[in-house]
Structure 1
Amino acid sequence: MVDWDAGQYLKFEDERTRPSLDLLKRVPLDAPASCVDLGCGPGNSTELIARRYPAAQVVGLDSSPDMLAKAKAHLPGLRFEEVDVARWETSERFDLIFANAVLQWLPGHSALLRRLVSLLKDGGCLAVQMPNNLNEPSHRLMAKVAQDGPWAEKLAAAAAARERLGSFEDYYAWLRQAGCSVDLWQTTYVHPLDGAASIVEWFKSTGLKPYIDPLTPEERSGFLHRYEAAIADAYPVQPDGKVLLRFPRLFFVAQRGSN
C-alpha cells in the first residue's frame, strides 16, 4: 500500500480515539516506567498514554512518514520512530505495549503475540484493539465491488491484506500459553454519520486502501462510485438523516506473569 494519509484518517478523530481510551482504561498499571505505542498513527493514542502516565518514557512507532510527521508536530515532547512493526526488534523491555488498530494488518497472530509478550517486563501489559468488522456490510461490499468490476484481476489479492481474526478462544489460549492473564472483550460501536458518502470517507484511510491504492485515478473513481451506491443500499437513512455505521472491535489486555 502507499503511505497512509493522516489528514484523511483524522477526519473522524473523535470516533477513532474512543477505542484507544476504552482500551487504556482497562490497563491495570499504576506507574509504568516505559511504554510503547505500536502503530501510533498521528499520535492520538500516544497522547492518551502520555497523559495517563506523565512520568513514563513513551515512544510511538509507525511505518508511515505522513502519520509520524503529524504526530511529531502535535506532540513535539514525545519520541517517535519510523519502524515496520512486523519486523520490529529491540533489546528494550517495556511495562506497556499498546497496539490500537494495527495488529489486524499483520499475519500469524499466535507467533506475533508470543513475540510481543517476550518484550514485556514481568508484570507488564500488552494492550490490543483490532477492528473485527470483515463480516460487516462495509467490508463485504468492498470485496464484492472488487470482484465484480473491470479491476477484478488487479484487486484479486486485496481482501487478503487484512488478517482475519481468530476466535475469543484462540486469543485466550495464545496469551495464556505465553504466560499471561487475559482480559478479553468485544465492543460494537455505532457511529451516526452523514450518509453513505461519510462511510466511504471513513474507510478511504483504512479498509479501502488495499482496494483503491492499486487503481488508476479513473478506476479509483469508478470503484468508489460503485461502492458508495452499494453502501447506500446497505445502510438505510434514519429519520434524522444519519446512517448508522456498526463497527465491532476486539480488545484484550494481557499481563505477563500474572495468573
Structure 2
Amino acid sequence: MHSDTAPARPPAPAPSSAPTWDPMQYLRHAGHRAQPFLDLLNRIPELPARPARIADLGCGPGNVTALLAERWPEAHITGFDLSPEMLRRAGEEYAGPTIGGGRLDFRHGDLAHWLPEETYDLIVSNAALQWVPGHPGSFGPWINGLRPGGTLAFQVPGNFTAPSHRLLAELCDTPRWRDRLAGHGARYVHVLDPAEYLARLIELGCTVDVWETTYHQLLTGTDPVLDWVKGTALRPVLTRLGDDRAAVDLFLDEYREALREAYPPGPRGTVFPFRRIFAVARKEA
C-alpha cells in the first residue's frame, strides 16, 4: 500500500447508500459464485406442494434463480432484488414461462423489509443476507410465511476476516481515504457464526441443517482477486467514489498492490480461499 502520510482528499457528496451493481462484472466468475448455491440446492428437501411457490431473496442477475427452475420446473418462482441493474438483467435473460409449465418473474424487493405476501413452499437466498443488518430477525416472519413442511434455505459468505476484506477495510481507513470511504470497506458485520444460525432456527421450531465449507477457488487471469471483488465487496467503494475516475484508479492501484502480495499467483492460477456458511431450515409439517 502507499504511505499513510499522503494528503487526504476532500469528502465527496454522498450518493445513495445502496451500492450500484454491475451484472456483467458479477457474472465474470459465475461458475465459482454458483457452486455454493448448487451445494445448497442439493440439501433442500422435497417441497410440500406441487406446483411449488418459491421466493429467491437477492436474486441478482437471475442465473441462480434459473437453477431453481431446473430443480422444480413446474414451480412459480419470483426473484426479489434491490438493484435495478440486476433486475433488468434477470428479466431480460430469464423471465417468462419455463419448460416444465412453471414461470419465472422478478420484482423489486428490499430484503431489510421484505415480508411474504403469500404462502411459499421455499424461501431461498444466495449470498445476499450479508448485506442486510439484523437479517436473523426476519427468520420468524419468513418461516411463518412458509407452508407446513416448507423450507428456508440460505448461504452467506463467511470470509470477512480474509485478506481480501481486511486489506480493503484497512485501505478505506487510511488518511488518504478515510474522509470519503471510512466504513465502506467493512460493511460485512451482519453474518453470524454457524452455531448462532443453528440456535436461532431451532428456536423457531425448525428441523435445521447448518454447515460451512471453504472453497479453494483457482482464479485465472491478471489480478483475478481484484477482478472478483470488483463484482461484490468493492461495490460500496466504487459507488461512493462515483464518477471521480482519478480517485477510482488511485484506489484500485493501491488495493491491487496489496492483493498481489496477499494472493501471489501460482503456475496455473491464483488460489482464493472462500468460506461459506449454509443453513437449511424445514418448518414442521
TM class, shorter-chain normalised?
A: over 0.9
Matches within 5 A, 1:1-259: 1-30=18-47, 32=49, 33-77=52-96, 78-194=104-220, 197-215=223-241, 216-240=244-268, 242-257=269-284
Deviation at 1:31, TM superposition (A): 6.1
Distance of 2:186 and 2:254 partners within structure 1: 21
Distance of 1:232 and 1:160 partners within structure 2: 20
TM-score where L is the length of structure 2: 0.86
Matched position secondary structure for 2:181: coil
Deviations 1:39-95 (A, max 9, x none): 111111111111110111111111111111111121131211111121113330111
| AA of the residue aligned to 1:157 | G
Whether the 8 Å CA contact 1:195–1:232 is kept in 2: the answer is no
CA distance 1:159–1:115, shift in 2 (3 Å): farther
TM-score where L is the length of structure 1: 0.94
Distance of 2:115 and 2:222 partners within structure 1: 41
CA distance 1:7–1:167, shift in 2 (3 Å): same
Identity of aligned residues (%): 40
| AA of the residue aligned to 2:61 | P
Distance of 1:123 and 1:149 partners within structure 2: 53
Distance of 1:25 and 1:41 partners within structure 2: 20
**Which structure features the higher share of helix residues?**
1
Matched position secondary structure for 1:4: coil
Q: Which has the larger displacement, 157-166 or 77-86?
A: 157-166
| AA of the residue aligned to 2:73 | P
Displacement over 4 Å in runs of 4+: none
Q: Which has the larger displacement, 242-251 or 231-240?
A: 231-240
| AA of the residue aligned to 2:279 | F
Deviation at 1:97, TM superposition (A): 0.4
Deviations 1:205-226 (A, max 9, x none): 2111122221232111111111
CA distance 1:85–1:143, shift in 2 (3 Å): same
Distance of 1:30 and 1:150 partners within structure 2: 52
Distance of 1:30 and 1:91 partners within structure 2: 19
| AA of the residue aligned to 2:86 | M
Matched position secondary structure for 1:44: coil
CA distance 1:110–1:41, shift in 2 (3 Å): closer
- Aligned positions, number: 257
Distance of 1:13 and 1:100 partners within structure 2: 13
Matched position secondary structure for 2:223: helix
